[in-house]
Chains A and B, each alone.
Chain A
Amino acid sequence: EAGVTQFPSHSVIEKGQTVTLRCDPISGHDNLYWYRRVMGKEIKFLLHFVKESKQDESGMPNNRFLAERTGGTYSTLKVQPAELEDSGVYFCASSQALGHYSTDTQYFGPGTRLTVL
């Protein structure tokens, strides 16, 4: 079974440009999460999809970030326009919806390292 995949693995852009990150969850997983780790800090939650619906977007830093999950399969996270402080590693994770959210195991993708110059 394929794991969570993310594309690209690295992205270097200039301040003010737009970048779109993609996440393909494990097949059949209804829950999809985005997290981010900026240098020297802990991994922080950004948002959570259940199928195509945003369940919780309380961690999104501002309106320069837009996440979508059309059709409830893959998800994209767009940053527009990118700022220097957006640099970090963006992780995607997915889990099955087993009816007991609290016991779901989240499987993480390899991450996308974003560098904004």
Chain B
Amino acid sequence: QKEVEQNSGPLSVPEGAIASLNCTYSDRVSQSFFWYRQYSGKSPELIMSIYSNGDKEDGRFTAQLNKASQYVSLLIRDSQPSDSATYLCAPSQGGGNKLTFGTGTQLKVEL
């Protein structure tokens, strides 16, 4: 079993729709969870971070965390073509905050 599981996609949504990206993780002691966006050939860029169970909203993005289910998700409202990228789920581990990445979900927002 992988430490972080994501559907690789591609996930295709029409412009203006809601994109839902999901992630499960195996390490129960993970405390912090990060969503990074990575455009092809570029470096990962932080989109959202969440530390407590429940929802956290920032603009068009909402992160959801359920530690009991070891599940974290990212919702993107009013999806734009510029949102087309690979989204990486990354729980942090240990006192040093090292990140464990999933393989990422490729999102395609179509006109």
Contacts and interface: CB of A to CB of B under 8 A. Distances in A.
Contact of A43 (B42, B51, B96, B101): B101
What secondary structure prevails in chain B residues at the interface with A? loop
A33 B51 CA distance: 21
A103 B43 contact: no
Given A41-B103, A109-B43, A101 B51 contact: no
Interface stretch (B62-70, B77-85, B87-95): B87-95
Contact of B43 (A42, A56, A91, A102): A91
Contacts of B101: 35, 42-44
Contacts of B45: 108
Interface centre among B4, B32, B98 (most CB of A within 10 A): B98
A104 B43 contact: no
A95 B92 CA distance: 13
Interface residues of A, number: 27
A95 B98 contact: no
Contact of A102 (B51, B102, B103): B51
A4 B32 CA distance: 22
B75 interface: no
A102 B31 contact: yes
A101 B45 CA distance: 19
Given A105-B49, A108-B43, A108-B44, A43 B88 contact: yes
Interface in A41-67: 41-45, 48, 50, 55-56, 59
Interface in B1-57: 2, 4, 31-32, 34, 36, 42-46, 49, 51
A102 B36 CA distance: 16
B104 A42 contact: yes
18 contacts: A31-B96, A33-B99, A35-B99, A41-B103, A42-B101, A44-B101, A55-B96, A56-B96, A91-B44, A101-B92, A105-B34, A106-B34, A106-B46, A106-B97, A106-B99, A107-B46, A108-B45, A110-B42
